[in-house]
Structure 1
Amino acid sequence: MARISVEVERTVGGAPERVLGLLADYAGTRAQLWPEMITDYRVVEGGEGAGTRIAYRLHATKKRIREVEALVSAPSAGVLLEADQRSSLRTQWSVRAAGAGGSTVTALTTWDGAGGVGGFFEKTFAPIGIRKLSNAVLDGLEARLR
């Protein structure tokens, strides 16, 4: 099993506190930012920041669908960590000041990939989908900040 890591980073217009607040709003803003590859999204518990539990279906391909139930934590200032309780899938959202009232947002998604031939294809193609997902969330976030 190989560890797979996908990072997407973007500078957006908006103070870090505002950007982190939007990302932490799982019951409102985040529910509207997911792209079409996320379906059946729901807040299981909480809804704002650490302690929130979310569930959704991640459509990696038309036939490969992963059920995700993530617990959100805030391991440090400016960071939200969504940890799937059923697998090694983790997405960490980090927000830091970027000057002139902007913020740099980093989405780092990691998981333990499969071995063998399946693992080769997962390592080759899954990062494309994860980048698409992270960029779609950031596109929606940018639109809300305007």
Structure 2
Amino acid sequence: MSQIVVTNERIVNAKPADVYAILSDYKRREQFLPENFQDYRIEKGGQGEGTVVQYRLHAANRERNYRMKVEEVVKGKVLRERDYDSSFVTTWTVSPENGGTQTRVGVASEWSGSSGIGGFFERTFAPLGLRNIYGDVLARLNSRVTGENLPAVKARSYKDLYIPLLAVGVVIGFIISRKREK
């Protein structure tokens, strides 16, 4: 099994303390989560350390249930969410930019990927989908913090899939040709 890491970040036009206050408020987190996050609910707490949340993440025609426990790794700067039932971990970081008038918000998720052909597809496609979902979350967070409106319609770009799909086609073609030779 290999480790899969997905990251995304964004500059938000607000102070780090304001951004962190919204990120660590899990009672209001649902307000800026996209439709990929379904059945979001708080099991325990609701503010920072010790909070436990549950949700279903829908991505690429797949759904997975998560039950995440929140840790404040560095108070006011780093939140970590660990799934009770898997190796999935998401870390949110908040750091000042431009003398503290702006904030760099980073999100990184990592987990132990599957092996074999299923693992190949997971390593190839899961990061693309999750990175796009996190881009949407960060845009919605920015809108929530700054009051800036999101575009009414967000067009999805599939150009990032061309190379992975080509690679998959080459691999499948290679496997088929090897089987025919035998």
Q: Give the TM-score normalised by the residue count of structure 2.
A: 0.77
Q: Give the greater-gyration-radius structure (CA).
A: 2
Q: Is the contact made by 1:34 and 1:133 (CA closer than 8 Å) also made in structure 2?
A: no
How much has 1:145 moved relative to structure 2?
2.1
Aligned residues: 144
1:65 aligned partner: 63
Q: Is the contact made by 2:22 and 2:145 (CA closer than 8 Å) also made in structure 1?
A: no
How much has 1:61 moved relative to structure 2?
2.6
Q: Give 5+ residue unaligned stretches, structure 1.
A: none
How much has 1:144 moved relative to structure 2?
1.5
How much has 1:98 moved relative to structure 2?
0.5
- Structure with the higher helix share, 1 or 2: 2
Structure 1 residue runs of 4+, over 6 Å off?
Answer: none
Q: Give 5+ residue unaligned stretches, structure 2.
A: 147-182
2:54 aligned partner: 55
Quick one: distance in 2 between partners of 1:48 and 1:133? 23
How much is the aligned-residue C-alpha RMSD, in angstroms? 1.0
Give the percent of matched residue pairs that are identical in Structure 1 and Structure 2: 41
Question: What secondary structure is seen at the aligned counterpart in 2 of 1:75?
Answer: strand
Partner amino acid for 1:67? Answer: N
1:82 aligned partner: 81
Partner amino acid for 2:120? Answer: F
